[in-house]
Structure 1
């Protein structure tokens, strides 16, 4: 499988702000790829609550909603 090494691929990966400005004008801006920062304090608090309720550490790959669900299941039982 060959890697793409065309002009647009190199330009999109470049950190040069000139490329960003030009590609934005051409309509190639990818604002949908901006990651949202997770609420670390909320997640850390949920992890502590999970540890207090369950007695074990929460799996690090779980998001806040999954931890809330697991805590509710444990408290309901």
Structure 2
């Protein structure tokens, strides 16, 4: 694994680096990842619920709709 200055500084727990990270806001507790508003995520969840297994991540929305319709019909 290639290491750079940032990787080494994070592992060294350098107080100067901690000050920079704090100023950038990375230590804030209110930072939470948002739920994606991606329509394909909802289709993947529906596919998993209907079929009972996870979908292939390479399928687009049209393919997922097709597979869901086939599973509901059959």
TM-score (norm: length of structure 2) = 0.49
